[in-house]
Amino acid sequence: MSQYWIEDGQTLLFIGDSITDCGRRGAEAPLGNGYVRLFTELATARFPERRVRYINKGIGGNRVTDLAARWRDDVLYHRPDRLSVKIGINDLHSHLRGAEDGVDPARFAAVYEQILAITQNELGCPLVLLTPFYISTDHSGQTFRSQVLELLPRYIEVVEQLAERFDARLVRLHDVFQRQLQYRDADTFCPEPVHPNQAGHLVIAQALMDALSA
């Protein structure tokens, strides 16, 4: 990992939905038991001499609109030196299910861009953006899962474009899991397509480490 990302005495903040949360507000406080904790352990094992402060601000069920509502308290207040954002699958689900306050791709892009612009203006810290993912290969066109997979690229494209605009590191998690699914069953990583088990979280943590090591 380059010193550009993990330096002694810095703060790295993670924010997102339940995949980031992973019990960090309860028994697994303060980092949760998912990819955030696994990443910090990988980083500690690799760089024992570096004292890095890690903050997890994931909240289960969040969409990008929820992040925007709490951005000043949960991100800007802490003034992190590095920021990791993983959001999108709940936005997609809300839109696909026709929720009155659903977040379609256009709204997803607009709100996400807004919070990143505020961060750039007030903090100027480097960013890493993780794409939403769905651990399924169902392209039948006859199921809800296949509908998710059909719509997901539009949300992923938003994250890719924002990563380019804000010069952020990008972790293409959906591609990472789809490669894994060429060799292993989905249950290896996830009891259902959204919430990974420990193996799935390790895949995320390693992909994040790889992206920040380039």
Q: Is the pLDDT of residue 2 over 80?
A: no
pTM metric for this prediction: 0.96
4 pLDDT band, cuts 50/70/90, is low
Structural domains present in the chain: 62-213 (3.40.50.1110)
53 pLDDT band, cuts 50/70/90, is very high
Q: Is the pLDDT of residue 104 over 90?
A: yes
107 pLDDT band, cuts 50/70/90, is very high
Hey, what amino acid is at 20? T
For residue 197 the two structure tokens come to: 């088990």
Q: Is the pLDDT of residue 1 over 50?
A: no
pLDDT at residue 214, as a whole number = 64
pLDDT digits (tens, 9 = 90+) for 26-49: 999 999 999 999 999 999 998 899
Average pLDDT along the chain = 95
pLDDT digits (tens, 9 = 90+) for 147-186: 999 999 999 999 999 999 999 999 999 999 999 999 999 9
pLDDT at residue 5, as a whole number = 77
Q: Can you give the chain as a three-state secondary structure string? A: CCCCCCCCCCEEEEEECHHHHCCCCCCCCCCCCCHHHHHHHHHHHHCCCCCCEEEEEECCCCCHHHHHHHHHHHCHHHCCCEEEEECCHHHHHHHHCCCCCCCCHHHHHHHHHHHHHHHHHHCCCCEEEECCCCCCCCCCCCCHHHHHHHHHHHHHHHHHHHHHHCCCEEECHHHHHHHHCCCCCHHHCCCCCCCCCHHHHHHHHHHHHHHHHC
